[in-house]
């Protein structure tokens, strides 16, 4: 064998050893998780609660999921759909994250889901309810730990129908979450013999409600159904009460209207009824322990967004456990994420084939700073997953 040949063989062997080492380091080093959430604007508090919930679960597992440490990368998506593709690519292409967690706003999440599908990056959605993500856009690498916009809306419609509401008006922000929430409410209400006489809306994230409240006062419906969240929900509930409407026309909504907002809403929110997959005072060891741990870690009370962040980490943890942290075992990983039964502070829930929680919808009533459980409005509600073929 020539000297050149021997040299070439040695170099190849050295290269192969390096590649093997690299691959090994990759399989045992930290997993890169990209948090794309709103850290500014009307949904900023929601983003922070999701991050806190996610990190709490990871900390409870000793800082590791599937035996691997987690390295976080963060992008503030500002709840701005026009920047969403650039923002998600900062995580996918620049930071090369292996898992995406986000986001709150449905319009931003739709762009994230498209980028995740195109790049085959794992995506766990800890809030945004855009129906299409677990409908026509469904994919094995996408799972939601929260809800579809249709779910709490439908449950509130059922409750309103049971309460004898015949003529309702709706008022929301004009984007996917508002429109889909109203669609769910309308379906539930119509089942009970009521109908929506008028839909009102304003652009996200505007909070100039006066003209719309004047129109509601003039129409005198039996009830109003509204989707708002975060800072916008605080202002809306206060304006509704300041206009005196809460005395004569009950204000209903999905629980986002009063979740994480009660200290700021104060008297204006007392007695309000909403539907959601979580209630603060669920008296189970799982919820009590979670709330205690959250309060100790963050000196704050947990809300539904913290629960959804916590459960997003649980879903990722279930997938990683099944493959011992080896992300190259894609099918086993995504199958385990879909098949897991999540032991959530909200109560145990399964995940539909389309990747959305199948869960109880609770009727809650505001008392002090809590959304208190009243009853199960709809048991084990599954989103219709329209258009999903997987
Ligand atoms: C959404 O855009 O899907 C959404 C935002 C805040 C609360 C709930 C849903």
In this prediction, residues 267-279 reach a mean pLDDT of 98
How many Å lie between the centroid of ligand 1 and the Cα of residue 94? 27
CB 346, CB 133: distance < 8 Å: no
Closest listed residue to residue 303, CA positions, set 281, 275, 271: 281
Q: How far is the CA of 105 from the centre of ligand 1 (A)?
A: 5
**How far are the Cα atoms of 109, 148, 221, 280 from residue 308, in angstroms, in the given order?**
15, 13, 34, 13
Q: Up-side HSE of residue 226: CA atoms within 13 Å toward CB? A: 30
Residue 8 — pLDDT band, cuts 50, 70, 90?
Answer: very low
Residue-wise pLDDT tens digits, 154-202 = 999 999 999 999 999 999 999 999 999 999 999 999 999 999 999 999 9
Q: Is the CB of 144 under 6 A from ligand 1?
A: no
156 Cβ below 6 A of ligand 1: no
pLDDT at 10 over 50: no
Mutate to test the pocket of ligand 1, among 46, 47, 79, 106 (most ligand atoms within 8 A of CB): 106
- How high does pLDDT run on average in the chain? 94
Asked if residues 325 and 71 have their Cβ atoms less than 8 Å apart, the reply is no
Is the Cβ atom of 108 under 6 angstroms away from ligand 1? no
Whether 105 lines ligand 1, by a CB cut-off of 6 Å, is yes
In the predicted model, what is the mean pLDDT of residues 292-304? 98
Indicate the pLDDT class of residue 15, thresholds 50, 70 and 90: very low
Residue 6 in this model has a pLDDT that exceeds 60: no
pLDDT of res. 11:
42
Is the CB of 173 inside a 6 Å radius of any atom of ligand 1? no
The reported pLDDT for the residue numbered 7 is: 39
Distance, CA 204 to ligand 1 centroid (Å)?
11
Nearest atom (ligand 1) to Cα of 254: 8
| Residue-wise pLDDT tens digits, 24-48 | 335 679 999 999 999 999 999 999 9
What does the alpha-carbon distance between residue 290 and residue 236 come to, in Å, rounded to a whole number?
A: 30
Residue 3 pLDDT > 70, yes or no?
no
- Residue 27, both tokens: 């399989």
pLDDT in tens, 94-153: 999 999 999 999 999 999 999 999 999 999 999 999 999 999 999 999 999 999 999 999
Question: 177: Cβ below 6 Å to ligand 1?
Answer: yes
List the structure tokens of 48: 């922070």
Q: Identify the pLDDT of residue 27.
A: 63
Does ligand 1 come within 6 angstroms of the Cβ of 103?
no
pTM of the model: 0.93
How far does the centroid of ligand 1 lie from the alpha carbon of residue 277, in Å? 14
Strands 347-351 and 342-344: antiparallel
CA of 12 to the centre of ligand 1 (A): 54
Q: How far, in Å, is the centroid of ligand 1 from the Cα of 288?
A: 25
Distance 10 CA to ligand 1 centre (A): 58
Please choose, from the candidates 83, 98, 229, 253, the residue with its C-alpha nearest in 3D space to the C-alpha of residue 181: 253
Residue written as token pair 């309810």: 129
Does residue 172 have its Cβ closer than 6 Å to ligand 1? no
Top mutation candidate among 78, 181, 229 for ligand 1, by most atoms within 8 Å of CB: 229
pLDDT value for 390:
81
- For residue 63, the Cα-to-chain-centroid distance in whole angstroms is 22
For atom 3 of ligand 1, which residue has the closest CA? 128
Distance 79 CA to ligand 1 centre (A): 10
pLDDT of res. 28: 78
Q: What is the pLDDT of residue 12?
A: 43
Does residue 86 surpass a pLDDT of 50? yes
């Amino acid at each position: 064998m020539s000297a050149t040949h021997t040299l070439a063989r040695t170099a190849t062997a050295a290269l192969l050893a390096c590649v093997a080492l690299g691959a090994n380091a990759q399989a045992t080093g930290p997993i890169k998780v990209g948090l794309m959430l709103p850290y500014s604007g009307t949904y900023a508090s929601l983003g922070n609660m999701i991050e806190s919930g996610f990190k709490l679960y990871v900390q409870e597992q000793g800082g590791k999921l599937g035996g691997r440490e987690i390295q976080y990368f963060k992008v503030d998506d500002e709840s701005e759909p026009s920047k969403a593709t650039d923002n998600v690519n900062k995580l996918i292409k620049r930071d090369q994250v292996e898992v995406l967690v986000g986001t709150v706003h449905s319009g931003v999440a739709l762009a994230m889901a498209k980028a995740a599908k195109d790049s085959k990056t794992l995506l766990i959605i800890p809030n945004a309810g855009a129906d299409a993500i677990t409908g026509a856009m469904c994919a094995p690498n996408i799972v939601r730990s929260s809800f579809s916009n249709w779910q709490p809306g439908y449950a509130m419609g059922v409750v309103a129908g049971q309460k004898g509401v015949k003529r309702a008006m709706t008022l929301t922000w004009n984007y996917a979450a508002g429109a889909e929430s109203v669609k769910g409410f309308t379906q539930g209400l119509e089942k009970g013999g009521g109908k929506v006489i008028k839909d009102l809306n304003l652009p996200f994230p505007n909070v100039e409600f006066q003209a719309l409240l004047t129109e509601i006062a003039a129409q005198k419906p039996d009830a109003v159904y509204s989707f708002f969240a975060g800072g916008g929900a605080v202002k809306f509930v206060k304006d509704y009460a300041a206009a005196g409407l809460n005395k004569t026309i009950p204000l209903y909504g999905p629980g986002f209207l009063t979740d994480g907002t009660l200290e700021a809403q104060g008297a204006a929110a007392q007695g309000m009824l909403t539907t959601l997959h979580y209630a603060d005072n669920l008296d189970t060891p799982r919820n009590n322990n979670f709330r205690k741990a959250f309060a100790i870690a963050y000196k704050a009370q947990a809300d539904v967004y913290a629960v959804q962040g916590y459960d997003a980490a649980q879903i990722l943890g279930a997938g990683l456990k099944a493959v011992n942290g080896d992300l190259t075992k894609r099918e086993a990983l995504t199958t385990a994420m879909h098949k897991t039964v999540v032991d959530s502070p909200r109560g145990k829930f399964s995940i539909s084939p389309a990747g959305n929680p199948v869960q109880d919808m609770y009727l809650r009533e505001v008392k002090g700073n809590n959304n208190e459980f009243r009853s199960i409005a709809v048991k084990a509600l599954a989103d219709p997953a329209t258009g999903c073929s997987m």
